[in-house]
């Protein structure tokens, strides 16, 4: 039997096992071959595009980095974008990095993570208020900088020289200068808010004060100045709500008492003409009915209900902005719910009872 070379080749190919074809739409997972250290090395060497490419690969790999590494990678990404002088994109990236430090941190991030998040938030704000890669101080730092901080002021009290936001050796100076300026700008509003009992100005200012606290933590590593401010604003909010509830309660109680009081509706008695002198007319029974509500009463009750309905979102907004405990306003919200129930009941009552005396 003759076996040709062509036949041998065909027999050899037939012996190779077949592998299933990969569908065109199949997703191919990629395992990261880089590390945070590799990306950092590129950044340190000024190879910014390569650093960003490695960071992107790590973040999108199948074996995702830990929450802590993810935050560090996003911070490095933000810094890399900044060094490429893309200020708006860098500000957004620093904000994303700040958020990442809080991810998967329940109920609250670790102290170090909180400081890192605040630093990222402060840098993002600094960049948004910079021009031509520089931040120009507006106020004197000597009276505003935290005296306990080891961070050097940006300059002496008369020096308002622009500070580079790209130079890492000047970063703390730039952050300090920005914090000093924000503190100087916010303090007058803060004092005005504390001087008035109105709740809405407190709600409006609370997020700004929290931003100022982040700026201080990012610049100095502490919140020695803003912590007492946050506490005072929280206490003032609680006192303002308590005072408002007391006034609303007094009004509802007064209206309810008035509406359920009795008024004389007896028909007026007349003396017959030509009646005999000295003979008293027979005494008629007194008829009474509930007084009920006036239009002014109804308007007042509706206003009270509307104000109480604003209280829950206001206290939630304050709690979120000022990082208050979940039960900080528990007493106030409980009292408000009971008062709303009474105001509604007073408003919807029929007041149609009558009596004879």
User: Measuring CA to CA, how many Å separate 136 from each of 150, 175, 261?
Assistant: 22, 11, 69
Q: 14-18, 77-81, 217-221 — which is least confidently predicted?
A: 14-18
Q: Look at residue 205 in the predicted model and tell me its pLDDT.
A: 97
Q: Look at residue 277 in the predicted model and tell me its pLDDT.
A: 58
User: Stretch 217-240: mean pLDDT, rounded?
Assistant: 96
User: Stretch 164-172: mean pLDDT, rounded?
Assistant: 96
User: Stretch 108-112: mean pLDDT, rounded?
Assistant: 61
Query: Residue 46 is part of which domain span?
Result: 31-105
| 204 within some domain | no
Residue 131 confidence (pLDDT) above 80: yes
Q: Look at residue 149 in the predicted model and tell me its pLDDT.
A: 44
User: Stretch 195-208: mean pLDDT, rounded?
Assistant: 95
Residue 335 confidence (pLDDT) above 50: yes
Q: Look at residue 324 in the predicted model and tell me its pLDDT.
A: 94
CA-nearest of 122, 119, 126, 216 to 162 is 126
Q: How confident is the model at residue 143 (pLDDT cuts 50, 70, 90)?
A: very low
- Tell me the average pLDDT of the chain: 85
| 349 within some domain | yes
| 99 within some domain | yes
Residue 328 confidence (pLDDT) above 70: yes
Cα(64)–Cα(73) distance, rounded to whole angstroms?
A: 12
Residue 357 confidence (pLDDT) above 90: no
User: Stretch 266-280: mean pLDDT, rounded?
Assistant: 65
Q: Look at residue 113 in the predicted model and tell me its pLDDT.
A: 86
User: Stretch 156-174: mean pLDDT, rounded?
Assistant: 86
- Predicted structure pTM score: 0.74
Q: Using a pLDDT cut of 90, give the percent of the chain over it.
A: 69
Residue 25 confidence (pLDDT) above 80: no
Domain boundary among 105, 124, 144: 105
Domain boundary among 71, 90, 105: 105
Place of tokens 């090395």: 41
Q: 40-54, 118-132, 149-163 — which is least confidently predicted?
A: 149-163
| 215 within some domain | no
Q: Look at residue 279 in the predicted model and tell me its pLDDT.
A: 63
Residue 260 confidence (pLDDT) above 60: yes
Beta-bridge partner residues of 263:
289
User: Stretch 61-65: mean pLDDT, rounded?
Assistant: 81
| 45 within some domain | yes
Q: How confident is the model at residue 270 (pLDDT cuts 50, 70, 90)?
A: low
Residue 24 confidence (pLDDT) above 60: no
Residue 1 confidence (pLDDT) above 80: no
| 318 within some domain | yes
| 111 within some domain | no
| Greater pLDDT, 111 or 186 | 186
| 42 within some domain | yes
Domain boundary among 105, 130, 151: 105
Q: Which residues contact 258 (CB under 8 A, 6 or more apart)?
A: 291, 297
Residue 140 confidence (pLDDT) above 60: yes
What number of other Cβ atoms are within 10 A of residue 61's Cβ? 15
Joined together, the tokens standing for residue 200 give 């809405």
* Number of separate domains in the chain: 2
| Greater pLDDT, 246 or 103 | 246
User: Stretch 271-289: mean pLDDT, rounded?
Assistant: 70
């Amino acid at each position: 039997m003759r076996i040709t070379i062509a036949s041998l080749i065909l027999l050899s190919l037939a012996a190779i096992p077949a592998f299933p074809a990969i569908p065109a739409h199949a997703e191919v997972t990629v395992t990261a071959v880089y590390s945070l250290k590799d990306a950092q090395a590129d950044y340190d060497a000024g190879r910014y595009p390569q650093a960003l490419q490695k960071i992107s690969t790590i973040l999108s790999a199948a074996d995702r980095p830990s929450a802590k590494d993810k935050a560090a990678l996003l911070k490095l990404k933000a810094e890399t974008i900044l060094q490429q002088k893309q200020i708006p994109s860098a500000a957004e990236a620093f904000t994303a990095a700040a958020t990442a430090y809080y991810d998967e941190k329940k109920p609250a991030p670790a102290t170090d993570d909180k400081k890192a998040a605040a630093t990222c938030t402060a840098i993002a704000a600094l960049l948004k208020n910079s021009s031509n890669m520089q931040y120009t101080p507006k106020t004197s730092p000597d009276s505003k900088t935290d005296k306990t901080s080891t961070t050097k002021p940006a300059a002496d009290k008369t020096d308002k020289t622009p500070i580079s936001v790209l130079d890492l050796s000047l970063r703390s100076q730039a952050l300090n200068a920005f914090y000093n300026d924000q503190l100087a700008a916010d303090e007058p509003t803060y004092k005005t808010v504390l001087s008035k009992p109105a709740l809405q100005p407190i709600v409006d200012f609370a997020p700004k004060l929290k931003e100022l606290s982040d700026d201080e933590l990012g610049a100095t590593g502490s919140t020695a100045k803003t912590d007492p401010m946050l506490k005072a604003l929280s206490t003032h909010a609680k006192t303002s709500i308590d005072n408002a509830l007391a006034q609303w309660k007094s009004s509802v109680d007064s209206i309810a008492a008035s509406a359920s009081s009795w008024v004389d509706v007896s028909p007026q008695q007349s003396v017959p003409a030509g009646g005999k002198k000295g003979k008293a007319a027979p005494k008629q029974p007194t008829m009474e009915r509930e007084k009920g509500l006036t239009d002014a009463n109804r308007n007042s009750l509706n206003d009270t209900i509307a104000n109480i309905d604003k209280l829950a979102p206001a206290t939630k907004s304050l709690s979120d902005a000022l990082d208050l405990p979940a039960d900080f306003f528990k007493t106030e919200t409980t009292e408000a719910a009971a008062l709303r129930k009474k105001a509604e009941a007073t408003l919807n009552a029929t007041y149609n009872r009558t009596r004879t005396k």
